Chains A and B, each alone.
Chain A
Amino acid sequence: MHKKMLVLHFPPQITDKPLVCKLSRDFDLCFNILKARILPGREGLMVLELSGLKKNVRLGLRFLKEQGVKIRSVDQEIHRNDDLCMQCGACTGICPTHALHIDRDTMEVLFDPHRCSGCELCVPVCPVRAMEIQFGRDRVLA
């Protein structure tokens, strides 16, 4: 079983097409939508976990690309700004996947983007806003 955590960007022209369901019907893939913001006439965004046979995942993603969907992995879109991070650990009690965790020997706060599900809970929890998510919402005061 092959698993991928992905961020899909749908151009405005195709947000009215049923595309994701085809991953299941035509490519025998299982998907779990963690976040979706699809509005008519605007660029849509979806965070989903895709799983299935490696070959099918590859074919399914190729299909999406052919339809114009831009595909990125979650870890490409989430970044910790280490210049800002003050190593407090406030994020670690709230991160559901333990992507943000503490090395118990050194008490250092570590970030493993591969375990991140893109839930964005860490963004407002961080007192210095060190977690930067490209598909995140805009700030109130910049």
Chain B
Amino acid sequence: MPHYQVNKTFNEINEKIRSGKAVVVTAEEMIDIVRENGEVKAAQKVDVVTTGTFSPMCSSGAFINFGHSVPGIKAAKVWVNGVPVHAGLAAVDIYVGAAEPHKDDPLNKIYPGEFLYGGGHVIQDLVAGKSLSLKAEAYGTHCYPRQQFEKRITLSEVPFAQLCNPRNAYQNYNCAVNATDKTIYTYMGILRPRFGNANYCTSGQLSPLFNDPFYQTIGTGTRIFLGGGVGYVVCAGTQHNPDVPRTRKGIPRKPAGTLMITGNLKQMSPRWLVGVSLLGYGCSIAVGMGVPIPILNEEMAMRTAISDDDIVTQVMDYGKDYPEGTGESLLEVTYAQLKKGYIKLGDKTVPAAPLSSYPRAREIAGILKKSISEDRFLLGEPQELLPTAAASE
């Protein structure tokens, strides 16, 4: 166990939040605070650092119970606004997957497909308060005799609606380029041939898991900003992989940790849950989320002071190396470089563009800061931390 000069508990910080005395800053502000004061003084001064990210996040969706009809139905196949949803749960429970396209979508038969409406758009329409059509089919049982059912649903009228995203907030992600001679359409956007552009997708120094790279404060029960409301970390997300190469400061050099997160959909907003269409790839949802990180000691002050100069990722060829799974990286770049708007690949200058909204990530960190300082948003102490990797130092 490391010995710290500053030792704070979740309870002590929550006590300060309750009495309105907690010092809360954003992950951007923390960089200069630690630079000017040092880690120990910063840890004495600051109680909570807020983070944020707003980006397309596949592996998102919502559980909805649409209410029993009379006579009842054990829905086997269900569509909401024409989008197939998962019905193999119970009688009237469904899961709307964000990446599910509309049943009549031509997909990539009209190439490249536009994917203009899917599960992500259904979720956005629900939180926008719209009325959506629901159609269900069933084989009929003695207890649930009905075989067909149609109704209009709104978020306020359904008995239960919970956003539950199995994998969000990826800790780092590849920067994608295309080395082939043809334009390709990927979940990392349109990639033009011969390194025509480079796309990246995290909020860098504001990103939640970059600010707690070994998950020392984040786990089951962490209270977060989610979709404009309050949410919680359930557990590690799917594909959570802490065991990747890391920098001296502990930052994973490639995709690593992920979070499964949840929250009551009824308190969320269409500004922070936005259906997206990725040309030639599919549909998804952009999710706004932010995690408050308690400054329990000077190590957490040091961790949250990470800046874009310290964060690196790998430039991968999505034309060949990525689909073939070779894992080969063309180049390691810093987020500071990516944010300048270009990278150098050999003697070629390649324009670099984000798919993740930095202004909106900053807005989330600001909202969370305000919620904690003014609205008594308390920290959730994790009941179990995420699986982690040993620090190399």
Q: Which residues of A are interface residues toward B (Cβ below 8 A)?
A: 86-94, 102, 104, 106-109, 124-125, 127-129, 139-142
Interface residue SS majority, chain A:
loop
Please determine whether B353 and A141 come into contact, CB atoms closer than 8 angstroms. no
B246 located at the interface, meaning its Cβ lies under 8 Å from any Cβ of chain A in the complex: no
- Residues of chain A within 8 A of B341, CB atoms compared: 92, 102, 104
Which of chain A's residues has its CB closest to B199's CB? A93
Please determine whether A141 and B114 come into contact, CB atoms closer than 8 angstroms. yes
Which of chain B's residues has its CB closest to A85's CB? B357
Please determine whether B353 and A89 come into contact, CB atoms closer than 8 angstroms. yes
Q: Which residues of B are interface residues toward A (Cβ below 8 A)?
A: 54-56, 102, 104-106, 110, 112-114, 116-117, 189-190, 192, 197-199, 274-279, 284, 286, 339-341, 351-360, 362
Q: Given known contacts A86-B274, A86-B286, A127-B276, is B353 in contact with A94 (CB within 8 Å)?
A: yes
Please determine whether B105 and A92 come into contact, CB atoms closer than 8 angstroms. no
- Residues of chain B within 8 A of A87, CB atoms compared: 357-360
- Residues of chain A within 8 A of B112, CB atoms compared: 124
Which of chain A's residues has its CB closest to B275's CB? A128
Partner of B359, one of A104, A107, A125, A127: A107
Q: In the assembly, what is the distance between CA of A15 and CA of B179, in Å? A: 42
CB distance from B120 to the nearest CB of A (A): 10
Please determine whether A140 and B352 come into contact, CB atoms closer than 8 angstroms. no
Other than the given A91-B353, A107-B359, A140-B113, 14 more pairs (CB < 8 A) read A87-B357, A88-B357, A89-B353, A89-B355, A92-B351, A92-B353, A93-B197, A94-B353, A107-B362, A128-B286, A140-B106, A141-B116, A141-B117, A142-B116
Partner of A89, one of B104, B278, B286, B354: B354
Please determine whether A93 and B286 come into contact, CB atoms closer than 8 angstroms. no
Please determine whether B353 and A93 come into contact, CB atoms closer than 8 angstroms. yes
Q: In the assembly, what is the distance between CA of A87 and CA of B272, in Å? A: 12
